[in-house]
Structure 1
Amino acid sequence: MPASIALPRALAVALDEALSQASRGGARGSTTPTSTTPTSTTPTSTTPTSTTPSSTTPGGTTTGTAARAQRLSRRYLADHPADAPIIADAPDAAAYLTTRMPATYAAARFALGELAAAVPSLEPVSLLDVGAGTGAATWAAWDTWPSLERAELRDYSASALAAAERLLRASGLAVETHLGDAARPTPTHAAPAPERRPDESATPGPATPTSTASEPTAPRPAPPAPALDVDVDVDVALTAYVLSELTEAQRAAVVATLTARARDAVVIVEPGTPAGYRRILAVRDALLAAGWTLAGPCPHALACPVASRESDWCHAAVRLPRTREHRVAKGGELSYEDEKLAWVAAVRDPARHPVRHDARVLRHPATHPGHVRLELCTPSGERVERTVSKRDKAAFRAARKVEWGETWGETPAAVQPDGEQPTTAALTSTGQGVVGTTAAVQPDDAQPATAHPATAPTASSQVPPA
């Protein structure tokens, strides 16, 4: 069963308010400007497009939103470069907020949590989010690192950035947005830095605005986009669910932008499909060629042992709770959905930020009454199967908790190949993965060390079905 990750309360509250406003506006009908194409570094003028008034379901989701959500879903599943922003207007943004933002957040939060566990010294203050959309990955970074203070969001959809700005008011981050080409955008405007990170119990509001307008407008004049060899100026640079929308040349430009600007780490997240995995493999090769050190999910820099297996690909999964509106918009019945992802993270300087390389769980652990079978990618570059026996109480307990996609650290005696009996090993859960240690296993209610103190994601995977 995948690890379960819920939205932080601040985002959930802001999202509910945004969707409520969108529902009221959709029922009345509205006129919203479209945004620029992804190949232009200078945003063009917008053309108003009228939306059709739509009825509202008891849960607040409009039938128009559901139709748009289905169209967006089909477009993302098409998995080919886009010649125009997929989120074209405010109703599209509302549909995305309802159906895709929670899943994108959960996937990014999982990957960033794994990075934080592998690189404990990483405490970023600044973030670059390329292809930020409605800000899901920025929220995931905020929830992962309490040290984060400011974020730069770039996207070629004006409507998506407007939604991101409104939502991020609840985070307290100093937000700067840029509208234009996904690889080399043109800046628009920046928000002032907040005095403090807001308390989680506070009600989000416009006290710290991140935009000069509630809807996207034509960007202010700005200098040309910077060259790709600019000095590093952010701690972490990331992109999530973006490369599938770009050409091969644009993908290379995005990766070059991330590595040029990141001081400490880069993270790329893609859908957990065979095509997404192939894109991640290409990014992995580019990062290694540029001298970066892998920090996840790979515990090594050797050839991927999964790539050589026919009809197989390396990916992970997370489980996220669904709201009623989410279920209605997607036509689903279950109270949750599972999101599959492929990802890669790397650090620039392992001497500055040492990386802990532990084996990675490649599949759902097979739990039996007397043992747990794990399929692992190991630091030696091999794919191996391990059997953890109930006779080793500490290791067995840890094996029953580890989830698909998390790390598994083992002492030499922790587990043995099939047919051999394991001896006692000391293992402990970090909240995202299992690592070898000389300490006892943490109690069931131990909190992840890397989570935001007020908004830690749900660590249990026990989500009841619909």
Structure 2
Amino acid sequence: MPHLPLALKSKLHELQRDLGKSSIIKAHEKLSERYRKGRGTASKTSKDEAIAYALARLPATYAALRYVLCELKKYSEAFETVLDFGAGPGTSIWAFQEIFHIKSFTLVEKNLAMLDLGKQFLFDRPWVHWHKEDLRLLNINAHDLVLMSYSLGEFKEHEQNSLLQKAWTVTNKAFVIVEPGTPKGYQNIMRARDFLIKSGAHILAPCPHNKICPLSGKDWCHFSITLSRTEAHRSLKGGSLMMEDEKFSYLIAVKEAVSSSKSRVIKSPIRRSGHVIVDFCTQDGIKRSTFSKKDPIYRQARALSWGDEFDQ
């Protein structure tokens, strides 16, 4: 289970203390209403609303992104320059620092309140470069890795392809997209996946292939990460639970082809006495496998978790 870096946790605590509980709750209610109307943080946000967003959502987005970056690291660590399209308060930097050695990090965010909050978090890092820019108007150099974390869905469907084209054009090695683990977030990922494959991309994860997604009906590809809640997080969510599950969908596309025979666990395994049932996405489609104690790989199969790779 991922924990927030102590420095980040301390900064969030300072924000909570300085703003005050009543102001945070009021700002969070305004922001939540904007999300319900489909505008999210793409529209103008006040300083208080940016802080409320950070307290309520930053821990979960950090956990999901860190998970995805760990998947990417299995294949390569050679990412020295990073570009974050729609960076919000700079959550991605904290996750990247945990996983990769970065020489230059460029964050693009048009929301001034979010950008200012990010600078407040990261004022002491000379290798961090902020740009207040609308992604649709962005003109920037290529980077090893390009990221769109919880930002693609802020745009209308007809705008997404042009953004994806721009992001893919300035990608030298890998392009990472993370979206909420909802049917809508999954659809955003699927449109991006189709567009990128047509543009010559190779899908690295979570898919074990470049074929049409084999899921159908009410199923959608998403994953889950458990994270600990801060005091402010619990207060804003109106709950007392110390843990929270963040559902997310993601895609890692790369410029150069990578060969892999591994399958992906796409649901929580069903563990029974003496056997375990696992649903995989394989190169040949969706496959349900049952492993009993008689199987040589039973212990390995029983240890699998939702989202894991497995070489059958």
* TM-score, structure 1 as length reference: 0.63
Q: 2:157 aligns with which of 239, 248, 251?
A: 248
Deviation of 1:357 after TM superposition, in Å, equals 4.7
- Residues in 1 aligned to 2:168 and 2:122: alpha-carbon distance in whole angstroms: 25
Q: Which residue of structure 2 lines up, in the alignment, with residue 92 of structure 1? A: 49
- Residues in 2 aligned to 1:67 and 1:259: alpha-carbon distance in whole angstroms: 39
- Extract unaligned runs of 5+ from structure 2: none
1:129-278 alignment runs, 5 A limit: 129-145=84-100, 147-169=101-123, 172=125, 174-185=127-138, 226=139, 233-278=142-187
1:331-410 alignment runs, 5 A limit: 331-350=238-257, 354-380=258-284, 382-392=285-295, 395-410=297-312
Instruction: Specify which structure has the higher proportion of strand.
Output: 2
CA separation of 1:69 and 1:397: change in aligned 2, threshold 3 A: farther
Deviation of 1:254 after TM superposition, in Å, equals 2.0
| 8 Å contact from structure 2 (residues 83, 106) kept in 1 | yes
**Partner letter of residue 238 of structure 2?**
G
**Partner letter of residue 124 of structure 1?**
F
- Residues in 1 aligned to 2:166 and 2:7: alpha-carbon distance in whole angstroms: 30
**Partner letter of residue 115 of structure 1?**
L
Q: Which residue of structure 2 lines up, in the alignment, with residue 215 of structure 1? A: none
Q: 1:326 aligns with which of 227, 233, 237?
A: 233
Q: Secondary structure at the match of 1:183?
A: helix
Deviations 1:156-187 (A, max 9, x none): 111111111222346x46111111213324xx
* TM-score, structure 2 as length reference: 0.92
- Residues in 1 aligned to 2:283 and 2:126: alpha-carbon distance in whole angstroms: 37
Q: Which residue of structure 1 lines up, in the alignment, with residue 200 of structure 2? A: 291
**Partner letter of residue 14 of structure 1?**
K
| 8 Å contact from structure 1 (residues 375, 386) kept in 2 | yes
- Residues in 2 aligned to 1:236 and 1:357: alpha-carbon distance in whole angstroms: 24
- Residues in 2 aligned to 1:376 and 1:75: alpha-carbon distance in whole angstroms: 37
Q: Which residue of structure 2 lines up, in the alignment, with residue 5 of structure 1? A: 2
- Residues in 1 aligned to 2:217 and 2:248: alpha-carbon distance in whole angstroms: 19
Deviations 1:78-133 (A, max 9, x none): 4x356x7446121111101110011111111112211222x2x3421110001000
Deviation of 1:77 after TM superposition, in Å, equals 4.7
- Extract unaligned runs of 5+ from structure 1: 27-55, 57-61, 186-225, 411-466
Deviation of 1:248 after TM superposition, in Å, equals 2.3
| 8 Å contact from structure 1 (residues 151, 173) kept in 2 | no
| 8 Å contact from structure 2 (residues 86, 149) kept in 1 | yes
Q: 1:104 aligns with which of 61, 68, 71?
A: 61
Deviations 1:44-99 (A, max 9, x none): xxxxxxxxxxxx4xxxxx12212322332343354x356x7446121111101110
- Residues in 1 aligned to 2:214 and 2:206: alpha-carbon distance in whole angstroms: 13
- Residues in 2 aligned to 1:81 and 1:291: alpha-carbon distance in whole angstroms: 32
1:120-131 alignment runs, 5 A limit: 121-131=76-86
Instruction: Specify which structure has the higher proportion of helix.
Output: 2
- Residues in 2 aligned to 1:387 and 1:183: alpha-carbon distance in whole angstroms: 48
- Residues in 1 aligned to 2:155 and 2:271: alpha-carbon distance in whole angstroms: 40
Which structure has the larger Rg? 1
Q: Secondary structure at the match of 2:129?
A: strand
Q: How many residues matched?
A: 312
**Partner letter of residue 174 of structure 1?**
W
Q: Secondary structure at the match of 1:364?
A: coil
CA separation of 1:310 and 1:406: change in aligned 2, threshold 3 A: same
Q: Secondary structure at the match of 1:100?
A: helix
| 8 Å contact from structure 2 (residues 229, 242) kept in 1 | yes
| 8 Å contact from structure 1 (residues 128, 152) kept in 2 | yes
Q: How much is the aligned-residue C-alpha RMSD, in angstroms?
A: 2.1
| 8 Å contact from structure 1 (residues 149, 173) kept in 2 | no
**Partner letter of residue 386 of structure 1?**
S
| 8 Å contact from structure 2 (residues 203, 210) kept in 1 | yes
CA separation of 1:339 and 1:71: change in aligned 2, threshold 3 A: farther
Q: Percent identity?
A: 33
